[in-house]
Copies of this chain bind each other. A is one copy, B any other.
Amino acid sequence: MANPTAAMLVIGDEILSGRTRDSNMHFLAKELTRTGIDLKETRVVSDDPQAITGAVQALAAAYDTVFTSGGIGPTHDDITAECVAAAFDTPIGIRDDARALLAAHYQRTGAELNEARLRMARIPEGAALIDNPVSVAPGFTIQNVHVMAGVPAVFEAMVASVLPTLTGGQPLLSQTLRIERGEGEIAGPLADLAADFPDLSIGSYPFQSNGIYGANIVIRGQDGAQVDAAMTRLSEMFA
| Chain A interfacial residues counted at CB < 8 A | 71
Q: How far is the CA of A220 from the CA of B16 in the complex (A)?
A: 13
Determine, out of A23-31, A87-95, A162-170, the stretch whose residues face the partner at the interface.
Answer: A23-31
Residues of B within 8 A of A30 (CB): 18
Describe A's contact surface by its main secondary structure. mixed
Q: Does A218 contact B (CB under 8 A)?
A: yes
* Chain A positions near chain B (C-beta within 8 angstroms): 12-22, 25-33, 38-47, 51, 73-77, 111-112, 114-117, 119-120, 134-135, 151, 153, 172, 174, 182-188, 190-191, 194, 201-208, 215, 218, 220
**What would 24 A/B residue contacts be, using CB atoms closer than 8 Å?**
A12-B203, A13-B201, A15-B29, A16-B29, A16-B41, A17-B172, A18-B32, A25-B44, A41-B43, A41-B44, A41-B51, A47-B203, A73-B183, A73-B206, A75-B183, A75-B191, A75-B215, A76-B190, A76-B202, A111-B184, A112-B185, A116-B185, A120-B184, A151-B208
